[in-house]
Structure 1
Amino acid sequence: SYKLAGHLDIWYSHIMTDLPIYVFTGPSGAGKSTLLQMLLEKFPNSFGFSVSHTTRKPRPGERDGVDYHFTDRDSFLSEVFQRNFLEYAEFAGNFYGTSRLAVESVLNAGRICILDVEIQGVKSIHAIQPPLNAQYILIRPSSISELEKRLRGRGTETEETLSKRLARAREDITFSETEEGQKLFTKIIINDDLNTGYKELENFVLPAVKCTKCAL
Structure 2
Amino acid sequence: MHSPGILILSAPSGAGKTSLSQALVKARGDAGLTVSHTTRPRRPGETDGRDYHFVDHDRFVQMVRDGLFVEYAEVFGNFYGTSLATIRSLADAGKHALLEIDWQGARKVRQKYPGARSVFIMPPSRDILEQRLRDRGQDSDAVIEKRMREADSEMSHRHEYDRVIVNDDFERALGDLNDMLEGLGHPGRDT
Task: Calculate the TM-score normalised by the size of structure 1.
Answer: 0.81
Aligned residue for 2:186, secondary structure, equals: helix
Q: Pairwise mapping of residues 143-162 of structure 1 onto structure 2 (< 5 A)?
A: 143-162=125-144
Q: CA offsets per residue over residues 40-75 of structure 1, 9 Å max, x none? A: 1111x2112111111112233322111111111111
The correspondence for 1:212, drawn from 179, 186, 189, is 186
SS of 2:146's partner is helix
1:11 is aligned to none
Deviations 1:96-146 (A, max 9, x none): 100111111111111111111111101121223xx4320011111022211
Match in the other structure for 1:66: 50
Counterpart amino acid of residue 147 in structure 2: R
CA shift at 1:207, angstroms? 4.0
State whether residues 21 and 115 of structure 1, in contact with CA within 8 Å, keep that contact through their aligned partners in structure 2.
yes
Structure 2 residues not aligned, in runs of 5+: none
Flag structure 1 segments of 5+ consecutive residues without an equivalent.
Answer: 1-13
The residue identity in structure 2 corresponding to 1:77 is V
Could you say which residue in structure 1 is the equivalent of 2:172? 196
- Match 1:171 to one of 146, 153, 156: 153
What letter is aligned with 1:102? T
Q: Contact (CA 8 Å) 1:92, 1:161: kept in 2 or not?
A: no
The answer to whether the aligner puts 1:21 opposite 2:6 as a matched pair is yes
Please identify runs of 4+ aligned residues in structure 1 that moved more than 3 A: none
Q: Distance in 2 between matches of 1:154 and 1:140?
A: 18
Aligned residues: 188
Deviation per CA, 1:73-112, whole angstroms, max 9, x where unpaired?
Answer: 1111111111111110001110010011111111111111
1:153 offset after TM fit, Å? 0.7
Structure with more relative contact order (C-alpha pairs < 8 Å, separation 6 or more) = 2
Q: Which stretch has the larger CA shift, 135-144 or 197-206?
A: 197-206
Structure 2 match to 1:7: none
1:173 partner letter: M
Q: Do the aligned residues in 2 keep the contact of 1:24 with 1:114 (CA within 8 Å)? A: yes
* Cα distance in structure 1, aligned partners of 2:117 and 2:90: 16
Residue in structure 2 matching 1:46, options 30, 36, 43: 30
Q: What percentage of aligned pairs have identical amino acids?
A: 36
State the one-letter code of the partner of 2:129.
L
**TM value normalised by structure 2:** 0.90
- After TM superposition, give the deviation of residue 191 of structure 1 in Å: 0.4
